[in-house]
């Protein structure tokens, strides 16, 4: 069974997001060993300048690198990443598994994004959409799409 890690900067607070995330984590148990890891988002001034943001993202990147499982396929969610259909994501994950890798790690960065150097280290930059969504909704969306990709690979009726 593949091991999937979802690294998330920041904590969910809203009960409705928490309930949805917990539901997809529960469903994933049928397909993968899922670990959801919340890392602390660095506090920045009320209106940070570009240098403060860059510095904060670099510090977050250090925390992130320490939690990426060794040898994992590393996917960063980023607005400038590739847009894939659910079927294409399922095929991508199937190729990763077929390549012999047993660990996949996804990253949802902080509300200010992800350090550029960390993005360059990724095996895949993946965009959820060109639209803007609340930062915490991204976790639910990522979990649902990972679950859907696993369901597609398993041939279940979840994906229609």
What's this model's pTM, rounded to 2 decimal places? Answer: 0.95
Per-residue model confidence (pLDDT) at position 151: 96
Q: Show the tokens assigned to 82.
A: 């590739």
Domains with residue ranges and CATH for the chain:
3-154 (3.40.1280.10)
Q: Residue 66 half-sphere exposure, CB side, CA atoms within 13 Å?
A: 8
Q: What is the pLDDT along the chain (160 residues), one digit of tens a residue?
A: 899 999 999 999 899 999 999 999 999 999 999 999 999 988 898 899 999 999 999 999 999 999 999 999 999 999 999 999 999 999 999 999 999 999 999 999 998 999 999 999 999 999 999 998 888 899 999 999 999 999 999 999 887 7
Inter-residue contact 87 to 152 (CB < 8 Å): yes
Per-residue model confidence (pLDDT) at position 134: 86
HEC assignment per residue over 96-123: HHHCCCCEEEEEECECCECCHHHHHHCC
- What's the N-to-C CA distance of the chain in angstroms? 24
Whole-number CA gyration radius for the chain: 15
Inter-residue contact 108 to 9 (CB < 8 Å): yes
Residue for token pair 């397909």: 31
Per-residue model confidence (pLDDT) at position 1: 82
Q: Show the tokens assigned to 116.
A: 């550029």
Neighbours of 87 (CB within 10 A): 12
CA distance 58 to 41: 12
Per-residue model confidence (pLDDT) at position 158: 83
């Amino acid at each position: 069974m593949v091991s999937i890690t979802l690294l998330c900067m920041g904590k969910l607070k809203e009960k409705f997001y928490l309930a949805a995330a917990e539901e997809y984590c529960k469903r994933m148990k049928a397909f993968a060993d899922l670990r959801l890891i919340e890392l602390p988002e660095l506090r920045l001034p009320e209106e940070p300048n570009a240098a403060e943001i860059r510095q904060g993202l670099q510090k977050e990147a250090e925390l992130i690198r320490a939690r990426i499982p060794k040898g994992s396929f590393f996917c960063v969610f980023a607005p400038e990443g590739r847009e894939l259909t659910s079927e294409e994501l399922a095929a991508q994950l199937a190729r990763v598994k077929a390549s012999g890798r047993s660990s996949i790690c996804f990253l949802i960065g902080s509300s200010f994004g992800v350090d550029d150097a960390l993005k360059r280290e990724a095996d895949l930059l993946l965009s959820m959409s060109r639209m803007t969504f609340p930062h915490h909704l991204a976790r639910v969306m990522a979990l649902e799409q990972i679950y859907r990709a696993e369901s597609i690979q398993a041939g279940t009726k979840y994906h229609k």
